[in-house]
Chain A
């Protein structure tokens, strides 16, 4: 089947979630057709590969309806598994030698700056092999090619101490300001000191005339909030608010920071902006990755690589595990992996007329596509497809599925098909475009576990992608106990069959209607002949 150009999106039960009246088993006419043009549809449509399936709920589960749990943390660059206890303090970033280029975000590597090729010596720098950025440009060099993060931090610290004109002044301003601010508040004991832990406001509280001892900031902020302590005391005046007492009973008060930073004219930045090239200013994307939002490229720091996680996923409704990867980083195996592809038929679409371009379907004409349903189940399924007659929107396309109800065979052994074809060659003969009347509601083609039907689309003008919402309903009979997991109750299966059903909306992209050409009048009859 040709897949190259068409994305098939399956919706999930999200329709149900957002529309409580939607019942997959109810009649189609009751619920309005799914509108792929609604911007919200972008959040409920997923490719089939992204969907999971809960065997207990018999429902498709999308990335939004699972709960995730982190199994292990690792650096995608050096594949080091990071113990969860250190992850947070390290900022979820690799603290070994892995960095990303601040310009192009490729991962960068350590190279020696010396000319000796045979026995490289220091100093070393980080160099991007994609955009050739080098940490030398910002004056960052390392003595050893290992443990770069620690060396980097050391250099920053040293530079910060290097007053009055620190080498890394631009690097450290934001963090320093924050540290200053924090120590200011810490020194004042701003926190809810009475609660004990936390480190802020420790050493106060016993002599406080409130039951608990919230810190000064806490008190000031909680002034009118009724946040616990306010109501305990007769409000005699504002004077008591924002005022704490230290251990000696002396009043302390939250004061403003002495050396607040006054707004300057930022002349240095403007002067620099006037001198530099456009290319030397940072893009927004580069800026967002840096904590200090620098204006110029020379202020960018290499970015430590973000850690990634392996996660297990649970069904949000029944909490059963749907995906459980092996915790080991190098392993790509899964202990449990219930993906929807193994339960839900795949729908593919391809053009009937190979000369048609998906990117510019001739406007105002009829196009035919082949819609193939492939069954992953070991039981034959009966499929019924329904679609609104006109696609939603101002300039609708008229869509007809020529054979809306059909059977798809079971996903049996692949050899079966070969053997079957030998015996019944007449199935093969259905293929091809003869002058057979295709509107007779028959299947266009079928094989072992797939069937193909024709879908016809007649479009209006307008340059747009034709998206066809299709309501798919699948019915099949499966052996009881086959997929509910309770094999113990039904040992070996007693051959009793149970009817099962799936129903969901999916959206097909048929193609993009081309622009109306000035000479479309001439084009139209020719197209007409082809499709007649």
Chain B
């Protein structure tokens, strides 16, 4: 178990050590026979694909288009069995409330610590995470999935588990442990979630942007490999679903204040509902016009409408938005009452949360004055900037493949207009920065370099349109002396995230073999498979059916996973105090 060979995030592999892990890759049939009774033979071949996210659990059978169930971790999941809840309005009711809606302000602050995580399976701050509670929750949700929707004997079904690249190991172990001890599947196979997203987009390479709940993670995929760098992903930012909900709440609360209704707080669940139902994203052209106008009118104010005092923008700015002056009558539910306040909200306001959450330079509300607008905090880079940085950190070949294959997934990516907007913003950013070159190469260096290796330029990268990348797709003889010892073009700004600069030479060979191999491969690919080529460097987003659908296809084709764990092995390893997971996952 410990000598298996690959790494979830791509490349800590060594083909020599495969033998001891081989049992997992034997055909499944014998095991299936053991567990099958009669007609269920074909049944037991399709594994159950379980995608465990921070907010939702999706479960279903491989080869099916959609999961059989999507189970949200609602507050009810935290409730005791048999507890009945009455509205706090119905005081005359007879049932006691275990988790009563909290009405008073003091109670809210007091209970904040225990309540803050309701609705989320975990937080990434593992210091305060009770993994036992996570186990309980997963068990409850999975029990519902198996007993209500899947209706199969969980003992007979293999489980396929997509894992996000940055999921902490302790959570992987917690999930694995729960599934094995409670549901007894013969094996669990792990797949990297962004790879599955790539598969379900019909691609081989892609830049996967997963806008999750706690954070957005960017993972380049090249030839269905995670090119993750040392941390397992190219970039992360806290611009994600949770922030979007927060910003939506703030904007709507400000709107209430503006309408003369003071001191109201909106219910979190309701805000989330609104995010889901009515929040949308303005397109890039409109925002650009607005930004220019703001810049001209008042340089001291923020470039994005709505950043300054809420409401002022609506009356002062000319309207480019397709939403125009349209309004929508929306019921707002506050924390202190169950009677909704119906408020007419301009649709242009409903596009602001996305601006604040994903595109504005900072997430902070208060410190805008003192903020110089150049360097946001490391963990809160706006999505286009993060995207640009991640691409910059990619190897040139990877970048070339990824640019026209940007895949945006995750819950908030369903907000209408958001995907296109991100792509457009990236486009503009690339133009603004003049391509992908962080170090400006002098003309002489360029000439020198071209002379050094004229034959290896495989793609017509010279002809790149607006973002003309430097001609550094020739890794070994890199012109700037600074990089001479580095085989690949890397962003000097982020040395820590270099993806291919392995610490050891051995690793390096294992990752990519060598760059020659890639090149060779590319050449071969082109020879064999000449494509009607679009201009290289063309930025374009591709839709994906998502992680679960990818898992369904891959598991349905019985592709062997990166890593498979058997129940007995895992349990005995855990019993003897180990992690139970193969080393390549740790």
Contact = CB atoms under 8 A, between A and B. Distances in A.
Do A and B assemble together? Answer: yes
Contacts of A87: 151
B81 A263 contact: no
Interface in A266-314: 266-267, 269-271, 273-275, 277-278, 281-284, 287-288, 291-293, 295, 306-307, 309, 311
Given A39-B114, A220-B223, A266-B417, A178 B560 contact: no
Contact of A88 (B61, B81, B277): B61
A273 B70 CA distance: 25
Interface in A161-197: 174-175, 177-179, 181-182, 184-185, 190-192, 195-197
Interface string B522-556: 00110011000000000011110100010001101
A40 B98 CA distance: 14
A449 interface: no
Most buried by B among A87, A283, A292, A463: A463
Nearest to B152: A88
A24 interface: no
Contact of B18 (A228, A242, A251, A270): A228
Given A201-B557, A257-B202, A50 B81 contact: yes
Chain B interface size range:
35 or more
Interface in A311-358: 311, 358
Contact of A260 (B17, B223, B542, B560): B542
Bin the interface of chain A by size. Answer: 35 or more
A120 interface: no
A263 B276 contact: no
Given A63-B81, A274-B322, A225 B96 contact: no
Interface in B270-294: 272-273, 276-278, 280, 283
A40 B133 contact: yes
B96 A92 contact: no
A117 B82 CA distance: 45
Contacts of A465: 96-98, 100
A4 B94 CA distance: 6
* Interface SS of A by simple majority: mixed
Contacts of B558: 191-192, 195, 198, 200, 218
A21 to B, nearest CB: 15
Contacts of B513: 235, 237-238
Contact of B280 (A91, A273, A309): A273
Contacts of A278: 277-278, 328-331
Contacts of B575: none
A231 B278 contact: no
A438 interface: no
B520 interface: yes
Interface in B127-149: 130, 132-133, 136-137, 139-140, 143, 147-149
A69 B153 contact: yes
A230 B15 contact: yes
A175 B549 CA distance: 10
Interface in A234-251: 235, 237-239, 241-242, 251
Interface string A63-106: 11000111001000000000011011001100000000000000
B476 interface: no
Given A5-B94, A256-B204, A270-B416, A263 B543 contact: yes
A270 B323 CA distance: 8
Interface in A394-439: none
B96 A511 contact: yes
Contacts of B283: 265, 267
B336 to A, nearest CB: 14
A262 B541 contact: yes
A481 interface: no
B68 A92 contact: yes
Interface in B25-78: 25-29, 39-40, 43, 45, 61, 63, 65-66, 68, 70, 72, 78
Nearest to A285: B72
B560 A221 contact: yes
Contacts of A18: 132
Given A231-B18, A463-B104, A515-B104, A224 B10 contact: yes
A200 B63 CA distance: 11
A254 B203 CA distance: 9
A190 B554 CA distance: 8
B5 interface: yes
Given A227-B25, A284-B72, A218 B96 contact: no
Nearest to A200: B557
A70 B559 contact: no
Interface string A358-369: 110000000000
8 contacts: A7-B82, A92-B150, A178-B545, A192-B558, A214-B559, A224-B510, A230-B15, A277-B329
The 10 closest A-B pairs by CB, nearest first: A257-B202, A263-B541, A226-B18, A226-B5, A291-B66, A191-B557, A228-B25, A224-B13, A47-B82, A178-B65
Interface of B: 4-7, 10-11, 13-19, 21-22, 25-29, 39-40, 43, 45, 61, 63, 65-66, 68, 70, 72, 78-84, 91, 94-98, 100, 104, 107, 110, 114, 130, 132-133, 136-137, 139-140, 143, 147-153, 182, 195, 199-204, 223-225, 272-273, 276-278, 280, 283, 322-324, 326, 328-331, 347, 406, 408, 414, 416-417, 419-420, 423, 510, 513, 517-518, 520-521, 524-525, 528-529, 540-543, 545, 549, 553-554, 556-563
Interface of A: 4-7, 9, 18, 39-43, 45-47, 49-50, 63-64, 68-70, 73, 84-85, 87-88, 91-92, 174-175, 177-179, 181-182, 184-185, 190-192, 195-198, 200-201, 214-215, 217-218, 220-228, 230-231, 235, 237-239, 241-242, 251, 253-257, 260-267, 269-271, 273-275, 277-278, 281-284, 287-288, 291-293, 295, 306-307, 309, 311, 358-359, 462-463, 465, 509, 511-512, 515
